[in-house]
Each structure stands twice: as C-alpha cells, then as structure tokens.
Amino acid sequence: MTGRTHGDDAGRALSTPMRALALAALFVVAGCTSDPVPEVPIPHDRSLVIVPFATPGEAAWSSALGFEVALRTEKRLEKTAAFVVLEAPIKLMKEGDPATLKAWELGAKVKADYVLEAAIESWDPQGKTIGLARASSTVAVTVTSVQARKVIARKDVKVQYPEEDQVLDKDEDLEDELKDATGKAIAELFAPTP
C-alpha cells in the first residue's frame, strides 16, 4: 500500500485537465501578443505607390502640403511595412498630367500592385483646445488594387497633435509635427506599430 487514498487520485485526475486547460490558455494568450493586424492588409510580396495628396482648394499633384504629407507617409512605410513601397511617381509629371490617370492606370505605369490616394479634408496647424495649441487634420484615404481595377479600402484618418495626454514643447514647430503625425497615422493603416 502506498498510503494514497481514493480522494488523492480524484484530486490528481481533476488537476490534470485543469493543467491542460491552463496550458492551452497560455498558448492562446501568447499567440495573441503578436504584431497588430493592419486595417488595410497588403501582402508582403506586393508593392504600393503613394500619390501626392489633394488638399482643400488644391488637387492631388498640385499641393505642396499634399506632396509633403505623402512623402512623410512613404518614408514611414519604407521603415515599417513588410511590402515594397515605391517612390512617388514624380517622373509621370513629365509625360503629361498624372492627375488625369485613373489610380489603376497610374499603378500599372509604375508597376505597383496597389495605389494609395488621399485627400486632406481639414488641416489646422494652429488650433486651440482650452487655451493649448493643438493641431489637427482629417484625411480621406483610398487604396486601389491595380489588378482588380477597383478601390479595396476607404478610411478616414483623424489626427490631433499633440495627443490629449501630451503637452507641446515650446520649441516644436506645430505644423511640421502635424505633418509627421498625419503621415504616421496613415502609415499605421498598413503597418501598425505595436
């Protein structure tokens, strides 16, 4: 006789399934801590080209602000995206007015799989919130599949800089920071940071 009773075996029998359940839960939780899922998934073996953005009162390709925010979005994605980010197709301006091309036509000309177009709907680099400087922007983003020749995603991106819980450093250029924050917010649709 080993000195164990029937009650000991029953406790051990119950603890084994509980251990298995705890281990399974641990694996599920560990699996959920991977990278965030992008709102607009682009396969890693594909490419995206970003068209200079439109701004209030100016069409895409003709706005200095639109070019700058598109470039900052491009630079951010070059660092964070798993897919290929093609350079802005400025060379198309030499061939005529690229604004007359449909997104999929433009994408085909530069050999991109996807085209990102955007329109800055509001841009306020001097806004105030309860006496504090707080810049904001709203951007309508559209992604077109070149192969399918159709829009696959439409997203509105709203940015506020600095965020609610931050205070602006007196040496910061609010408009420059808003450009960065807007480019980052658009890039995070495709390659969110953990």
Q: pLDDT for 133-182, tens place per residue?
A: 788 999 999 999 999 999 999 999 999 988 877 766 666 688 999 999 99
Q: pLDDT for 77-125, tens place per residue?
A: 999 999 999 998 888 888 888 999 999 999 999 999 999 999 999 999 8
Whole-structure pTM over 0.85, yes or no?
A: no
Contact 136, 158 (CB under 8 A): yes
- pLDDT computed for residue 3 by the predictor: 53
Q: What is the token pair recorded at 73?
A: 């979005």
Q: Which residue has the higher pLDDT, 54 or 38?
A: 54
The single-letter DSSP state of residue 35 is P
Between the alpha carbon of residue 35 and those of residues 180, 185, 191, the distances in Å are: 22, 17, 9
